[in-house]
A and B are shown apart, each in its own frame.
Chain A
């Protein structure tokens, strides 16, 4: 219920609806509770006394009460929906806004796929939780307590049946819930296993065909499938006991009431109408009990969703603006790393970067080279402050990045990452992403520089060609070039290319490099690359190994004096032959 309480915060703006809903529900429930009472009056005071007026009047009264009850029910529905949808939309919006404030470190921990589930499925579940709480969770206990009271009022003698029936059904229900709950999570786990086999078969279809492993896979699937079936059967059969058992308990209660009532009627202690009314209340009590148990399971499921949502909402962005952060700042793009150390998970793990020192002067191009895992991309992620350093400091024009306003800093930096994410929309929109007000000429110029203009012009719609979700209709190299154009268009003081031409063929890459070289004045560039050809023209090449700088200088000095650099160079000159086939 912890999460439910937190959820109630979101109900605050809708408190009037949230209060009106249970109130109107009370109206509906009390009208319902009166009906058996009227029935009793018709039988005992009307029919038994042959009093037609009582019969017709009470009959009409019942109809009127039914109408009032309908009003209450309709009102409750409207108010509950307004409250649930309003707070649900707010919750979703708050969550989405929260995600926007998270830093890269948070995003790494939370994982993209899971975040999406939270924003979609989990929010829907939480919304349903609010609906259940406002409508059914109010209605059922009211009905339960109301019928209990009305039952006792109708016949204190028969009400003794409650003492036996309620504990018996409660115990049975709790037993079933405890037993079936783990069974169904087991079903879910086996279903996941089945899906995994299926997914692997879809993704690895070539390997399976190549090694002629269809039979093997069919056996594997069939085994998993059988496991699922067995667990499903066990779970369903266990739960299958519930309904018949509950019905039996109810009906035994009915027969008992009928028998005790019959005896009392004969003894003159009770009237027939009383017996019939009591049976009604009895049913209602036990049915409500059953509903409560079912709802508990539903609430438990929604509760889990709500918890996942709050896990996101409660996470602190790792990077926040200082209150006195510098928002007005202009510089020339001198970047310096001073004794910088960094590790992804605080201090506990081995640092990824160890005591780095270097300076990039305005207009310089700095290239990073090194094996995978040597820390190149990590280093570059520190410059736009995607992560905060764990030790030392990074400065831009002698200001510590942490003293700068996040947006101000990023507006000075253009980044093209290896995995170039594009958004749905036209190619033009994507290039203009960082500067929506850029003119047509600027867009074209940026695209030409990035060597993207030619292939864009080949599309029938040109720059108006629609990029599908996540850029599905473009090749890797095309996406990378659009991403580069996007970075260029922001006219950044600092340009970062993180292995951003890896899918572009060598000749095109050379053209991009050349175009960039023309723009170097007044712009500091950082380039991460695997191919040595990419970094040849840099003013300074930093060779990284295991988080340390093990070589610094231009191509000629490094080739002459740095063994690691030479090793990389020679291996690539020997192996990195033809263009990408």
Chain B
């Protein structure tokens, strides 16, 4: 690869941005990294050790790669040397057979280099991708064991970026940067050694100027670009914030005719970004011409000083030819290593973020002697249960309840009273702080979580659907259900009708989050899913969202059908559900303040009575076109200024 490196100067200068074109082997979203924003690992040593744990599995590939890299580096060093030799020994004396021999040797060396380079990339591609796959799988499996508390506290975007960007950074380093770094370091030592061996004096002059200049320049530019890029990043973030907010609220902007204001605000931020990035890009752009300059200067130095030495008999023409290559081979890794350093740092920081999740404590682990739950009848008891999501604010205080098999328990109360929390505890999404919850007399903490949950059926208000067909989504309730069973469940859930009207019936693919179905239809599907699962205990969070009247009736019917014969906990909003309940628990501020049937509670004239009648009082009042009492003063205040 002798002369090939002579022009690395030219190649090099195009790689000003670290963003390589895709032909060099990078797909993926990490492709557009912003330069300058460099994350740094906190504990490099232990992160490296962890990564090694994954790499160990690819040991054979790694050893092969290391060997190949060592061989190709030596072959690369051989090239320029052979070239010089060819000139001095054979071309100048006119020894054609000798030239033929050395040409063949060179051809062989080049062919071997190319072949080995390809082989090494081939092996490393597999090893790197497998490692990254393992890492992704581990991350995902870990996520499945994490508690809801964890997901409550983390932004989804943050978790996504760990799985994509951070893993992609690691991928990049494994498949390219690591070998580049090794071969770069080996080349540095090798080139310096071989130059000194061929001609110590010329070597000293070359080694003292070119690399020195390069280091000086890179440091000078590096300092300026780092601050420049930091500013660019900051103003870009600000601008993107404005863009995101304005475009998301574009309809409001238009409704209030605020286009001009938005534009003015945008232009200020846009101008700031332009100034910051102009400065950053100019300095970063200097690297190219400077590297080119240094390489040309090196050429002049080797040619001039070398020529002088040849005439003085201190060197040969072949030496000059070799040195021209070597001086460039020396400069390139120096520049590369500086870039690689940042890439590797970013990858390590990414790895750290990935491991952070993998190390996160799992959801409360089953007790070692956890029991398998037998088929349950559905007797649920809360015995003096207290709970707090965080230590300071108790959400449930000394809750007692007793549900007999087949009963419908309606949970009623204002927002934040703790209704959803009761449900979260029963499913063991969270573990209670004190007291105990039993099902058929078994403390649920002594049961296997998965066993417990598979006997509970849950229909949540925010119905979540997965990408896949309608059938897949119903079958989510029981994976081994036949098509007939799934369709029967859909019929019971009143979903069969609308599914038939879909373009492909049960095979209709649902787009992400089921956005091609109406909210009511999604709820019907969720009910079908729960029917198919055939749970012994049912938990329903009735939807408050606006669904049209007819769909609402369908939903209600389906829910009643679903509840028959199962112990059901319903966070109730509909009067019909409440009336049908065997027990109504009125919850306020984490306590059950009233319990009983609809009639009993009404007769008690307490909180429930107030809740119930406030709805009707408001309605009746307005039916009579009565003006409800309001603060007359506040209307007056507004009236004077506004009307």
Question: A227 CA to B338 CA in the complex, in Å?
Answer: 35
Whether a CB of chain A sits under 8 angstroms from the CB of B374 is: no
Contact A59 B307 (CB under 8 A): yes
Q: Which residues of B contact A252 (CB under 8 A)?
A: 107, 110
Given A203-B464, A372-B546, does the pair A89, B518 have CB atoms closer than 8 Å? no
Q: Are B464 and A206 in contact (CB under 8 A)?
A: yes
Closest CB of chain B to A184's CB: distance in Å? Answer: 4
* Residue count of chain B within 8 Å CB distance of chain A: 185
Instruction: Establish whether residues B159 and A74, one from each chain, have CB atoms under 8 Å apart when the complex forms.
Output: no
Do residues B251 and A448 form an inter-chain contact, with CB atoms below 8 A?
no
Q: Are A386 and B6 in contact (CB under 8 A)?
A: no
Q: Are B110 and A248 in contact (CB under 8 A)?
A: yes
Residue from the list A104, A180, A265 in contact with B254, Cβ < 8 A: A104
Q: Are A184 and B140 in contact (CB under 8 A)?
A: no
Q: Does A276 contact B (CB under 8 A)?
A: yes
Residue A327 CB within 8 A of the other chain? no
Is the C-beta of B248 less than 8 angstroms from some C-beta in chain A? Answer: yes
Contact status A89-B270, CB under 8 Å:
yes
Q: What is the chain B residue whose CB lies nearest that of A241?
A: B118
The SS class assigned to the B binding surface is helix
B285: contacting residue among A81, A282, A576, CB under 8 A: A81
**Minimum Cβ distance to chain B for residue A268 (Å):** 9
> Closest Cβ of chain A: how far from B458's Cβ, in Å?
4
The answer to whether A568 and B549 touch across the interface, beta carbons within 8 angstroms, is yes
- Give the contacts of B17-76 with A (CB-CB under 8 A): 21-25, 27-29, 32
Q: Whole-angstrom distance from the CB of B28 to the nearest CB of chain A? A: 6
Bound form: Cα–Cα A306–B615 in Å = 56
CB of B355 within 8 A of chain A? no
- Set of chain A residues within 8 Å of B368, measured between Cβ atoms: none
CB-based A-B contact count at 8 angstroms: 565
> In the bound complex, do residue B27 and residue A506 qualify as a contact, i.e. CB atoms below 8 Å apart?
no
Are A424 and B245 touching (Cβ within 8 A)?
A: yes
A434, B90: Cα distance in complex, Å: 87
Task: Report 23 cross-chain contacts, Cβ distance below 8 Å, ordered by A residue.
Answer: A47-B311, A62-B304, A73-B290, A77-B282, A121-B32, A201-B144, A205-B148, A210-B458, A221-B140, A242-B23, A244-B117, A255-B110, A258-B103, A291-B11, A372-B518, A423-B245, A510-B621, A510-B622, A514-B629, A518-B630, A575-B552, A575-B576, A576-B574
Interface centre among B25, B324, B513, B637 (most CB of A within 10 A): B25
Q: How far is the CB of A424 from chain B (nearest CB, A)?
A: 6
The interface bits of chain A over 505-531 (1 if a CB of B lies within 8 angstroms of the residue's CB, else 0) are 111001101110111011100000010
Contact flag A73-B96 (CB < 8 Å), given A208-B144, A247-B113, A580-B573: no
Distance A406 CA – B260 CA, assembled complex (angstroms): 13
Beta-carbon contact of B619 and A536 below 8 Å: yes
A36-44, A334-342, A350-358: which one contacts chain B? A36-44
A:556-581 near B, CB below 8 Å: 567-568, 571-581
B493-551: which residues lie under 8 A (CB-CB) from chain A? 512-513, 518, 520, 529, 533, 544-551
How far, in whole Å, are A490 and B641 apart by their CA atoms in the complex? 11
Alpha-carbon gap, A62 to B296, bound state (A): 8
Q: A55-B307, A255-B107 are in contact. List 9 more A-B contacts (CB 8 A).
A: A89-B270, A184-B22, A210-B458, A233-B126, A266-B96, A507-B618, A518-B635, A519-B643, A574-B576
Smallest distance from the beta carbon of A248 to chain B beta carbons, Å?
Answer: 4
A2 contacts chain B at the CB level, 8 A cutoff: no
A469 touches B546 (CB 8 A): no
Cβ of A304 within 8 Å of any chain B Cβ, yes or no, is: no
Minimum CB–CB distance for B92 against chain A, Å: 6
| Residue A138, interface by CB 8 Å | no
Q: Which of A35, A236, A523 contacts B125 (CB 8 A)?
A: A236
A245–B545 alpha-carbon span in the complex (Å): 63
Docked complex Cα distance between A522 and B299 (Å)? 86
B369 at interface by CB-CB < 8 Å: no
- Which residues of A sit under 8 angstroms from B282, Cβ to Cβ? 77-78, 81
Distance between B416 CB and nearest chain A CB, rounded to angstroms: 9
A198 lies within 8 A of chain B by Cβ:
yes
